[in-house]
């Protein structure tokens, strides 16, 4: 298939759903599948995939939203840098409205901080060239999907000797997060729909530990409706056949060994942090990236004094449990009432990839979703 409408063909979707129903009946039990990526979560709700799946299949939404997993303390650090009067702070739009402990980047901008939304780190490098008397800092965040662009920008800044430019690095790694989830006794999963964009960079080999050590199947998936349905079918087929393998549904873009050029740039610029604090998951060893000492002139954490404090989440917000897959967004006591996209309390409601934002936008008023959840509860009892 070449065109996007081919990946949204209703007749093909019906055929896949028939096969999924058949496999579900053969299994004869409830199945919990976690889609790791926030992009998958939004596709699932946008196209109504969860509503048409067999009742026995439950989708759990994982910590694949990079803005959502950012702890409040790191957001406070970013805001502290941005409030420096000699700083132009550049960031992706998703991070602008995420609340820190006292304010957000958007509120700091309204109070006078020079904070600008950009579409790539290279945009921030251009701003640095245009403002040689200012310190320009880019808020670098995201999984392995966005880390290569950060690395290439630092290499470009070094090549051009742009000294008024730095990065506040908050890149995180998906594999340690998956391991932390699998080690959590409160979360019982039967398989994973693996992240497509991350896998374009790292390939499929790094996921082998999931099948070999934890004996769980994983299928790397694209983001269109037929991609996700086919991936669920592939997972169920593995379960029916009692297999645990890493399979690649997204083979039109994902290669086994990943993108070697991107990985090389990342390895050149970044080192792995010993610990990084994740919202909801806590400290996960070797799960974050930092800038190597040889590129220390581009490290904002070395250029600026930051609070560097751990800050607890809002007491009413249950983002952490949602990111771990323990709760569904609608089970949070402030979801859709005190916490909405217009008045967000937690990051999961702010980000375009957040599970709460997806539920609110596509599923909050769906009686079908509510009925399905009620039926699942009766089955469990």
292 within some domain: yes
327 within some domain: yes
Specify burial of residue 345 (Cβ count, 10 A radius: 0-12, 13-18, 19+): buried
Same-domain status, 355 and 292:
no
Please name which of 201, 200, 207 lies closest in space to residue 179, comparing C-alpha atoms: 207
Same-domain status, 124 and 76:
yes
32 within some domain: no
Where are the alpha helices (H) located in 95-207, listed in sequence order?
105-110, 121-130, 147-160, 174-182, 196-202
DSSP single-letter state for residue 313: P
- What pLDDT score does 376 carry? 52
Where does a domain end: 251, 275, 303? 303
Residues 87, 134: contact at Cβ < 8 Å?
Answer: yes
Q: What is the CATH number for 81?
A: 3.40.50.11740
364 within some domain: yes
pLDDT tens digits for range 17-56: 999 999 999 999 999 999 999 899 989 989 999 889 999 9
- What pLDDT score does 355 carry? 86
- What pLDDT score does 211 carry? 95
Same-domain status, 98 and 162:
yes
Distance CA 256, CA 206 (A): 9
Same-domain status, 293 and 366:
no
Where does a domain end: 303, 331, 360? 303
18 within some domain: no
Specify burial of residue 374 (Cβ count, 10 A radius: 0-12, 13-18, 19+): exposed
Same-domain status, 297 and 361:
no
345 within some domain: yes
Distance CA 86, CA 328 (A): 43
Residue 6 backbone dihedrals phi, psi, to 5 degrees? -70, -25
- What pLDDT score does 368 carry? 46
39 within some domain: no
Same-domain status, 119 and 147:
yes
Same-domain status, 293 and 365:
no
Q: Strand runs (DSSP E) across the chain, as ranges?
A: 31-37, 57-64, 87-91, 114-117, 135-142, 165-171, 191-194, 218-220, 246-248, 270-272, 275-278, 282-285, 289-291
Same-domain status, 151 and 112:
yes
Residues 170-192 as b or e (16 or more Cβ within 10 Å = b): bbbbbbbbbbbbbeeeebebbbb
Q: Look at the chain and report how many structural domains it folds into.
A: 2
Residues 252-285 as b or e (16 or more Cβ within 10 Å = b): eebeeebbeebbebbeebbeebeebbbbbbeebe
Same-domain status, 153 and 81:
yes
Where does a domain end: 251, 272, 303? 303
pLDDT under 50 in the chain at which residues?
365, 367-368, 379, 381
Structural domain for 153, as ranges: 72-172+288-303
Same-domain status, 299 and 362:
no
Same-domain status, 161 and 109:
yes
pLDDT tens digits for range 47-98: 999 889 999 999 998 888 888 888 889 999 999 999 999 999 999 998 998 8
Distance CA 62, CA 60 (A): 6
Task: Please give the C-alpha separations between residue 195 and each of 37, 64, 219, in angstroms, as whole numbers.
Answer: 5, 8, 9
Give CA angle at 104 (98, 107), nearest 5°: 130
- What pLDDT score does 250 carry? 97
DSSP single-letter state for residue 314: P
Same-domain status, 293 and 328:
no
337 within some domain: yes
């Amino acid at each position: 298939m070449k065109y996007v409408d081919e990946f949204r063909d209703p007749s093909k979707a019906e055929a896949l759903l028939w096969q999924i129903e058949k496999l579900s009946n053969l299994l004869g039990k409830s199945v919990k599948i976690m889609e790791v990526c926030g992009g998958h979560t939004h596709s699932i709700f946008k196209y109504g995939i969860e509503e048409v799946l067999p009742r026995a299949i439950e989708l759990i939404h994982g910590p694949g939203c990079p803005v959502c997993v950012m702890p409040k303390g790191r957001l406070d650090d970013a805001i502290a840098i941005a409030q420096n009067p000699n700083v132009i702070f550049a960031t992706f739009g998703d991070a602008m409205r995420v609340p820190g402990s006292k304010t957000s980047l958007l509120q700091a901008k309204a109070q006078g901080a020079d904070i600008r939304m950009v579409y790539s780190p290279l945009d921030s490098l251009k701003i640095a060239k245009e403002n040689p008397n200012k310190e320009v800092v880019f808020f670098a965040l995201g999984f392995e999907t966005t880390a290569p662009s950060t690395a290439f920008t630092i290499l470009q800044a070094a090549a051009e000797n742009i000294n008024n430019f730095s990065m506040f690095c908050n890149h995180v790694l998906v594999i340690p997060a998956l391991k932390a989830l699998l080690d959590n006794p409160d979360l019982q999963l039967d398989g994973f729909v693996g992240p497509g964009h991350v896998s374009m960079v790292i390939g499929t080999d790094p996921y082998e530990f999931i099948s070999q050590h934890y004996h769980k199947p994983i299928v790397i998936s694209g983001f269109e409706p037929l991609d996700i349905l086919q991936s669920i079918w592939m997972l169920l087929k593995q379960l029916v056949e009692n297999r645990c393998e890493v399979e690649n549904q997204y083979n039109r873009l994902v290669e086994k060994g990943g993108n070697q050029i991107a990985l090389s740039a990342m390895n050149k610029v970044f080192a792995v942090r010993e610990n990084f604090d994740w919202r909801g998951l806590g400290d996960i060893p070797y799960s974050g990236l930092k800038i190597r000492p040889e590129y220390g002139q581009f490290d904002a954490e070395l250029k600026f004094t930051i609070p560097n404090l751990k800050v607890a989440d809002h007491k009413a917000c249950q983002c952490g449990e949602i990111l771990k897959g323990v709760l569904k967004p609608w089970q949070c006591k402030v979801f859709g009432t005190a916490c909405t996209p217009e008045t967000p309390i937690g990051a999961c409601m702010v980000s375009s990839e957040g599970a709460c934002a997806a539920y609110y936008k596509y599923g909050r008023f769906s009686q079908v979703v509510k009925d399905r959840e009620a039926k699942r509860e009766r089955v469990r009892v």
